[in-house]
Amino acid sequence: MFKGSWVALVTPFKDNYEVDFDAYGKLIDFHIEQGTNGILPCGCTGEAATLSHEEQKECIRFTVERVAGRIPIIAGTGSNNTMEALDLTRYAKEIGCDGALLITPYYNKPTQAGLIAHYTKIAKEVDIPIVLYNVPSRTGIKLEPDTIAELNKLPNIVCIKEACGSVDQVSQILSLCDITVLSGDDSLTLPMMSIGATGVISVAANIAPADVARMCTLALQGNFSEARKIHYRLMPLFKALFYETNPMPVKAGLARMGMIKNVLRLPLVPMSEPPYKRLEQVLQKLNFI
């Protein structure tokens, strides 16, 4: 199940900063029509850090109801508070999600033993497939390959979203265990897939769902020569979506495409003008606007 292109879905807001569920539903339908393999609501790209837990549950429930079984769903349920992460993960299980993505506990900076204890408690109490999320640039803490291999011994810790920015990290993980690896960096998806990753949880898929899904399908088929063509064509987009902090650029891009309002919750704000103009040029060149 954990393969192909999974979109790290943005959370659209109205001008009053409430969740725009009309736009949310249209985005979900757009992804299904465009061939996205799975949907991830309430991740970092979905601004989960600024959603209340009730809003997070509401977004997860809405996604499950709107998708209606058409493609699988991994809900973002992580927190730096283990009991809060446990509550959200239980909810994802109850509402019918196919998996739960749990970011490493940010700010606390636990040891590797603390990370093992955190994930073990949740995995043992909620029988749902768990996707570890390793993104030290955001959290200040890294899941080491040995730790990942140890956690993979638990039957429902089955996948990891790897956003360390390192193909070597993926090599080390897969040399130690057979956990499923999904790229967490769009620009490294194809290199990671060349050594055994099975797809991506993608920011760029918000803008280019059909292209990212096609690239992953070709790579899974072993057709790397054709996959590379898509990789290199989309590379300017992969880079442009990080001109400023994610999800500021991707929301600006979707707004420019007429799909959402360019509204973020503080402390994030819309892109500043110079990088926005550069993003707009990339979108124009790739014919997204």
Cα end-to-end span (Å), the chain: 32
Pick the catalytic residue from 161, 243, 251, 276: 161
Split the chain (289 residues) into runs of 10 and give each run's mean pLDDT: 96 97 98 98 96 97 97 97 97 98 95 98 98 95 97 98 96 98 98 98 98 98 98 98 98 98 97 97 96
- Domain boundaries 4-232, corresponding CATH code: 3.20.20.70
Confirm whether 133 is a catalytic residue.
Answer: yes
**Residue 277 designated active-site:** no
Pairwise CA distance, residues 36 & 209, whole Å: 6
**For tokens 């998806």, what's the residue?**
189
- The closest alpha carbon to 131, from 59, 179, 63, 64, belongs to 179
3-state helix, strand, coil in the chain (%, to 5): 50, 15, 35
SS3 assignment, position 51: coil
Catalytic residue among 133, 243, 251, 276: 133
Q: What is the predicted pLDDT for the residue at 279?
A: 98
Q: What is the pTM of this model?
A: 0.95
Output the pLDDT for position 1: 82
pLDDT computed for residue 39 by the predictor: 98
Q: What is the pLDDT of residue 264?
A: 98
